[in-house]
Amino acid sequence: MTTFALLLTSAGFASQSPGSALQFARALLQLGHSIDHIFLYQDAVLLASNQIDLPADEPDISAELAEFCQRQQIPLLFCVTAAEKRGLVSETVPARNGYIGAGLAEFAMRQSNVDKLVQF
């Protein structure tokens, strides 16, 4: 059994990366592997925004990812600095439910717990 970490860097709603990462994560668990954490960096931090308002006919991959991680007890981390730079998260604007703020130092330390890191 292999322990994975997933790193998302692509813009949340402008690419297929978050959906692909979610499908990959589901497949890993079905195959008996484990996921230590999922980390959002660069434009992927857009998924953590509490200000998301999508049309009713579009899937909310941000909510799906949060629900999956909560159900599977996988920490869903986002880079606080990247989110602050984009005006998404601050002391007065919290992140979306299910998303946990973290720094790059925490991301780096967690890498000692994983066998493989996959970037989307």
Positions marked active-site: 79
What CA dihedral angle connects 32, 37, 42 and 46, to 10 degrees?
A: 90
The DSSP bridge partners found for residue 46 are none
The DSSP bridge partners found for residue 119 are 7
Question: Which stretches within the chain are classed as H helix?
Answer: 17-30, 61-72, 80-85, 104-110
- 38's enclosing H/E stretch is strand 34-40
